[in-house]
Amino acid sequence: MIVILLGPPGVGKGTQGKLLCEAEGLEHLSTGDLLRAARREGTELGLQAQAYMDRGELVPDDVIVGMVREKLRKLGPDAGVVFDGFPRTVPQAEALARTLEDLGTRLDRVVVMTADDGVLVRRLSGRRSCPACGMVYNVYTSPPEQEGICGECGSELVHRKDDDPATVQNRLDVYRQQTAPLIEFYERQPAVPVVEVDGAQKVEDVQTALRSAMREAR
């Protein structure tokens, strides 16, 4: 099962992708998480990506495609994968199609997650992330037990730099201009079913809708 979760910042791709992977035994491949890990480790990739991420702009396609190819090669041809935050441009989608073909596998489904800008902005303003273990909280809807501290590993939580209001606005614009056209790109391919899931519902309800979309894909 190879699935793409496509949707604007804050719609819940990370939250739902992790839950789906736990339930279905799939690999969660988040390009945002891979880039943030590279930044923490201070690798050349991380340094290259930093300025783009801080401005809310997309990291160049060749950097992203190389990173994803490497990850897929490590996972092997039999892994089921949930892509979160990739592809984000038509060239990335074309590169993914070529990579999957080389691996002898194919894309099963594209899930388009939706929510109004008001919901997205509020979620991102309330998001707190653990830089050590990757747990994600929200001060409005899913706060940690102890304010500012990760309940999983005890590290201090952070508000992502790209979650400040001006950068969020830029990320929403970038999504509309460069990533939303992918919906039409996939809708033009009859072999790849595209399904829409309302991401503004409660976490559990979004997950139920997502799993039902997965069952239809089999």
In this complex, which beta carbon is closest to ligand AP5, that of residue 4 or of residue 214?
Answer: 4
User: DSSP E strands: which ranges in 14-102?
Assistant: 27-30, 81-84
**Rounded to an integer, what distance in angstroms lies between the CA atom of residue 179 and that of residue 112?**
11
In this complex, which beta carbon is closest to ligand AP5, that of residue 22 or of residue 190?
Answer: 22
Stretch that binds ligand AP5, among 13-21, 69-77, 146-154, 188-196 (CB under 6 A): 13-21
**Rounded to an integer, what distance in angstroms lies between the CA atom of residue 109 and that of residue 67?**
22
Query: Residue 215 is encoded by which pair of tokens?
Result: 């069952």
Which helix (DSSP H) or strand (DSSP E) does residue 215 occupy? helix 203-217
Q: Find the binder of ligand AP5 among 2, 4, 14, 38 (CB under 6 A).
A: 14
**Rounded to an integer, what distance in angstroms lies between the CA atom of residue 141 and that of residue 161?**
20
Contact between 28 and ligand AP5 by CB under 6 A: the answer reads no
Contact between 59 and ligand AP5 by CB under 6 A: the answer reads yes
Q: Find the binder of ligand AP5 among 28, 127, 135, 194 (CB under 6 A).
A: 127
Name the DSSP letter for residue 164.
S
Residues that bind ligand AP5 (CB under 6 A): 9-15, 31-32, 35, 52-53, 56-59, 64, 85-86, 88, 92, 123, 126-127, 136, 138, 141-142, 162, 171, 202-203, 206
